[in-house]
Amino acid sequence: MNNKYSDNDYISCIPHEQYVRDSQQYGLCTECKKPNTWINWCMECYSKKFRQNFCNWTSGNEHIDKFIQESQLNANCDYELLEWIPYDRLSDITFLAKGGFGVIYEAIWLDGRIINWDTEKQDWKRKDTNIYQNENLKSNRKNGFWVILKSLNNSLNINEDFLNEWKLHLRCQRRAWSNYTSLIPLLGITQDPDTKNYMVVMINAFDGSLRNNLLIKKYNPNDKFRNLWDISRQLKAIHSLNLVHGDFHNGNLLYFTDNVLMISDLGLCRLVNNPNKNNEIYGVLPYIAPEVLRGKPYTKAADIYSFGIIMWEMTSGVPAFCDIPHDFNLCLNICMGDRPKIIEGTMPEYVELMKRCWDNDPKKRPTADELSEIFDEWDKKYPMEKDEEKRIPVPDNAPEIKYHLKAYYTSKRFTRSVELNKILSSEKIVILNDNNEDELNECMIEI
């Protein structure tokens, strides 16, 4: 896995404690002689270069043009930058998956991402050499940059709403970066000329989602401290902007490499206490906090509940509640305090923290800030094994994760809060009749 990136790729230089974000750190700009805002990056000089180029491209949509332009004028470093990426500069476009909110493709961006200005060539220097062969690659390209394209349903009717997710993503990305961590970086926007659908271009997370990597976490238990430290700091960045993620689950957490876990998919990200459109409840059932199921406003503490479920999955190696139906009965049980069964041998302090995260009472849950401090400490105490040779592979005979046919892991709509509250507030709990299948199953609805 380590050979996918050369040492000078920017992710490998994600700063750690020793990197103080002080402009002195990055030396002086060779053009204006003022301190650089990042390694080989001068915001002032570069924004002028971007502005001069505004007349040479357009997305065909004024909102998108403005969004990209603003990112270019305000980029403190290469990865706060978005570009308009013409569709014909993308090749080997391959369908990957259909999520709750859109379709995802993998592709190669032929030009690669800007890393800085090449004064000799008087042009942008780009990172375009991370091509490695994979089974989807039809051509023999040596140069290019692997990306993910995400098309949103109905992006034909483009408006401010469509861009909202990406604006929030970029804001959170910038805030996370200033906390020395990173959400999955956005690179730009493109448009399929046939469907006219706009698609967002992101860095390709080669190692997949946490869901696909849970077993390796089980066999390498020290991984979880670093991984949870990463995502707690990212969550802290989101919460510090008074935003909530709103759909925090193992499919939305992506491994850039096996030791860098990043939050993606801010499709449900919004201001604290702000309802979704039409006041509807969305999510993946095992990660939705009981108070949210009961129709209460979504708060930061609801994200922390999901975090607690993720903590459990890091110890079990399986998605929470994967072997039972995600039905109304499960909603009731969650509201009455049912949680995944603690895995034997889990560190007692870890169990205690996890239980606080998934407490029925949102006020008793820790903040993302507190979580990041604790995991920072635990990551130092129990460092993850980075030497590939010493890491423990998932054994060939490891049991496969068995999913119940009615366990759903894409975001869906939950519609039965009123009924749930009625039952929970009645004196005697109604024992749901297993024979009434329809009644039980109609709980999460396709978006």
The single residue listed with the structure tokens 């024979």 is: 435
29 vs 115, which CB is nearer to Zn ion? Answer: 29
Max CA separation in the chain (angstroms): 78
| Nearest distance from C-beta of residue 32 to Zn ion, angstroms | 3
42 vs 90, which CB is nearer to Zn ion? Answer: 42
| Nearest distance from C-beta of residue 46 to Zn ion, angstroms | 8
Q: How far is CA 389 from CA 1, 251, 386, 392, 393, in A?
A: 12, 27, 9, 8, 10
Would strands 113-118 and 123-127 be described as parallel, antiparallel, or unpaired?
antiparallel
42 vs 384, which CB is nearer to Zn ion? Answer: 42
29 vs 131, which CB is nearer to Zn ion? Answer: 29
Strand pairing partners for 412?
283
Q: Cβ distance 152 to 159 under 8 Å?
A: no
| Nearest distance from C-beta of residue 80 to Zn ion, angstroms | 16
39 vs 45, which CB is nearer to Zn ion? Answer: 45
| Nearest distance from C-beta of residue 30 to Zn ion, angstroms | 8
**CA neighbours closer than 13 Å in the CB half-sphere of residue 418:** 3
Residues 6+ apart with CB under 8 A from 191: 59, 60, 87, 197, 198, 199
The single residue listed with the structure tokens 């995991």 is: 375
Q: Cβ distance 149 to 135 under 8 Å?
A: no
123 vs 437, which CB is nearer to Zn ion? Answer: 123
* Angle (CA) 91 96 100, round 5°: 130
Q: Cβ distance 168 to 67 under 8 Å?
A: no
| Nearest distance from C-beta of residue 331 to Zn ion, angstroms | 56
For residues 340 and 320, give the distance between their C-alpha atoms in angstroms, rounded to a whole number.
Answer: 6
30 vs 143, which CB is nearer to Zn ion? Answer: 30
| Nearest distance from C-beta of residue 370 to Zn ion, angstroms | 40
80: tokens are 């706060």
72 vs 306, which CB is nearer to Zn ion? Answer: 72
| Nearest distance from C-beta of residue 116 to Zn ion, angstroms | 11
First-last CA distance in the chain: 36
| Nearest distance from C-beta of residue 47 to Zn ion, angstroms | 10
31 vs 65, which CB is nearer to Zn ion? Answer: 31
117 vs 375, which CB is nearer to Zn ion? Answer: 117
377: tokens are 């400490």
Q: Burial-class residue 3 by CB neighbours within 10 Å (0-12, 13-18, 19+).
A: exposed
For residues 438 and 417, give the distance between their C-alpha atoms in angstroms, rounded to a whole number.
Answer: 17
Q: Burial-class residue 29 by CB neighbours within 10 Å (0-12, 13-18, 19+).
A: buried
User: Could you tell me which of 254, 208, 213, 195 has the C-alpha nearest to residue 230?
Assistant: 254
41 vs 298, which CB is nearer to Zn ion? Answer: 41
Helices 223-240, 368-381: axis angle to 10 degrees equals 160
Strand pairing partners for 191?
198
| Nearest distance from C-beta of residue 41 to Zn ion, angstroms | 9
| Nearest distance from C-beta of residue 375 to Zn ion, angstroms | 37
Under the rule (CB under 5 A), what is the footprint of Zn ion?
29, 31-32, 42, 45
142: tokens are 């040596």
Strand pairing partners for 102?
152
| Nearest distance from C-beta of residue 174 to Zn ion, angstroms | 20
For residues 19 and 14, give the distance between their C-alpha atoms in angstroms, rounded to a whole number.
Answer: 9
